[in-house]
Amino acid sequence: MSKPLEGISVLDLTRVLAGPFCTMLLCDMGANVVKVERPEGGDDSRSFSPFVGDDSAYFMSINRGKKSITLNLKTVEGKKLLERLIERFDVLVENFRPGVFERLGFSAQRLREINPRLIYTCSSGFGHSGPMSHRTAYDLIIQGLSGMMSITGPDENSPTKVGSSIADIFCGTFACIGILAALHSRNLTGKGQKVDVAMLDSMVSVLENAIARYAATGEPPVPIGNRHPSIAPFASFKTLDGIINIAVGNDVLWEKFCKAIGRPEMCDDPKFVNNPARVRNLEELMEILGGELEKRTSDEWLGVFGKLDIPSGKINNIADIFEDEQIRAREMIVEVPHRCGNVKMPGVPIKFSDTPASIAGPAPLLGEHNREVYAGMLGLSDLEMEELKRKGII
């Protein structure tokens, strides 16, 4: 059974996370992704710990299913080889700092001349325009600049980054969406285009109600831990033996919740009768509920709430998710064969009914597919390839 992006070819000049995450999504959905790496060392993340045998588990998880070729873009011959490759691909993705690819001789205009149908996608920290566009960026820096850290953490004195590198990941995800939209546009017009996605833009776009609250009130939101700024009770609560999450998202659930914890009179209390009232009196509400919920164990409460369909759940650690029956049922932790043995990694989150996506295979070794691409696609002879290797071009 074919995958949704079979027949689409992607030239991947990215490294570390934002760009590779984008091309990983495309690869899982069936695109033929050829990763272009430096002959010496390759993608920086090949050196990131921890390692499985000699290979980086980090690199393996983000570059699964791709093909790897080596190419030195600082040489004239390397640039000529890249031009020949660009002619044959549908999509090119790069995450150089803005201006670098252009200085190598590959401006958006030049790429259009080489291949008018090419979808040229660039992901960067600040985008290809604006006063900060040429600055180097990392996830931590972007999370801070975006405002995300100012609303994350226990209080306003403890700005906190999100646990995963979500600035990179959202940038890669939006780049993937942009590519899919540009491919559809090309089907209609026959023309490719440039897709410019920034980490900072991506983070601002997912600030959700923080933007709405400030726009409506003029007051900058501050961190409030695991509580929700507009819904109550919607937070983490201590139980007799642990901590659980409870999300009472409407007044119907509130009535069921009050009865479940043995406090039905709270449904009619003017201070808690509806959601706006509960938000206004949140501190008192949290104190009352905390006292009730500490009387029973987490499993006891989750059993009660589960029977009444009150949204609740335990707080899994990473080891827990490997054993979680729902996550396993959705194949979100999978084993991928590798030369060092099977490696566990996240599965594909998009489920297609007729053209299912899947992990195509393990991450490639550095330059593993040089012969397949240079000989099979460009027609280079063994002698030519040996000469290019001797010169440090591939």
- 119 in Cβ contact with 192 (< 8 Å): yes
Residues 92 and 10: their CA atoms lie apart, in Å, by: 6
Report which DSSP code applies to 45. G
Residues 49 and 255: their CA atoms lie apart, in Å, by: 50
Question: What is the C-alpha end-to-end distance of the chain, expressed in Å?
Answer: 35
Residues 27 and 13: their CA atoms lie apart, in Å, by: 14
Map tokens 């004239």 to a residue. 76
Residues 99 and 184: their CA atoms lie apart, in Å, by: 28
The CB-side HSE value for 224 (13 A sphere, CA atoms) comes to 16
The 10 Å Cβ neighbour count of residue 278 is: 23
Q: Crossing angle of helices 166-189/18-28, nearest 10°?
A: 50
Residues 364 and 70: their CA atoms lie apart, in Å, by: 12
What is the DSSP pairing of strand 9-13 with strand 32-37? Answer: parallel
Side chain identity at residue 285, one-letter code: L
Q: What are the residue numbers of the active site? A: 228
As a whole number of angstroms, the longest Cα–Cα distance in the chain is: 86
